[in-house]
Amino acid sequence: MAANRGVAWRHWAAEDKPASPSRDTAAHPERGQGCLQPHSCPSSSSLACGETPLPSSCAKNKPCFHRRLGWRSGSSSHTEVLRHLVGWGLPRAECSLVLQISNVSFFVLSPALLYLNRQYCQKKAVPLYFVSGLLLLVGVFSMYFHMTLSYVGQLLDELSILWTLAVAYSFWYPQAYFPKCIKTRRHFFWLTGITTVISTFMSFIKPTLNAYALNCIAFHLLYMTWKELKKCNDRRVHRMAAVMVMWWVLAITSWISDRWLCWLWQAINFPYFHSFWHVLIAMSLLYCCPLVIYFDVSYEMPSFKPKLEYWPSDSWPVVVPYVTLEEPHKQC
């Protein structure tokens, strides 16, 4: 192990030796290789514990270790490099790999929703196909962001979530709760579309607030769920809503812990709470989407009666919910 650390140290030390600058590089330091420019820096609030924003030296157009390290450090000195490589014992590749593996949950979520809720898809294919496709993009852009830690990756990650929520609201928000000035679903499409476009442009103004704003939308979804549960007597629906809230509480706790207790997880060598966030929020969505579909059938498809089922069976301790459609018994 000591020999490997010595090799790693010599490799990094040799890589960091300043090369003889060319006349063009001396005149234009920003053209030097190995440094990201300030406009490509992601906001620190969007990074997971263990990932690093660009060091302050990069803002001065000096070489930095951002792409090579991917850790939360304050300088690009050899001491910092050695501390992250040897002291932590966790290379950037390992942390990035864990975050990318956790994003696989989104690639499982989308086909699971389509397959299990296939009866609903046969009647209303567009909403679920759109939302499932956008959830796949959320997984793709999240992987891209955690691989590159770039400003573009951050925006793609956050904006894909924003547009997924916008599409879900457009298709599934109950007409009973429309504003008084909105009379039809078509008008509501325009309202959500304009609001989402404005929000997209605003996300460039203060990127550090994007993640917090997106998570605040969950409180409105919880409020809407509470209002619907008051009108529903199906115990299965109440149980599924309770499990959904449980997964969400665990997810948001992991997210907050990753944001505000990063120093603690670094101290105990455990920077994986952002990975937990990916998996837990996907589990919450696995319960949330069938719940939304259940209420949508109740409002928009009165000729059918929604029924909650569990895969693989009700007797299993861990199950995946889905919605089936039953035609009500017709009176002669």
What residues contact residue 30 under an 8 Å CB cut-off, 6+ apart?
37, 61
pLDDT confidence band for 208 (50 / 70 / 90): confident
For residues 297 and 304, is the Cβ–Cβ distance under 8 A?
Answer: yes
Is the model more confident about 72 or about 206?
206
Q: How confident is the model over 149-206, as pLDDT tens digits?
A: 888 998 999 999 999 999 999 999 999 899 888 989 999 999 999 999 999 999 998 8
The DSSP line for 74-101 is S---HHHHHIIIIIS---HHHHHHHHHH
Token pair recorded at residue 280: 């837990």
Whether residue 107 is predicted with pLDDT greater than 70 in this model: the reply is: yes
Range scoring the smallest mean pLDDT among 52-66, 81-95, 113-127, 286-300: 52-66
The answer to whether the pTM exceeds 0.75 is: no
pLDDT of residue 54: 44
Within the chain, strands assigned E span 305-311, 320-326
193: DSSP letter: H
For residues 296 and 323, is the Cβ–Cβ distance under 8 A?
Answer: no
Mean pLDDT over 62-69 rounds to 32
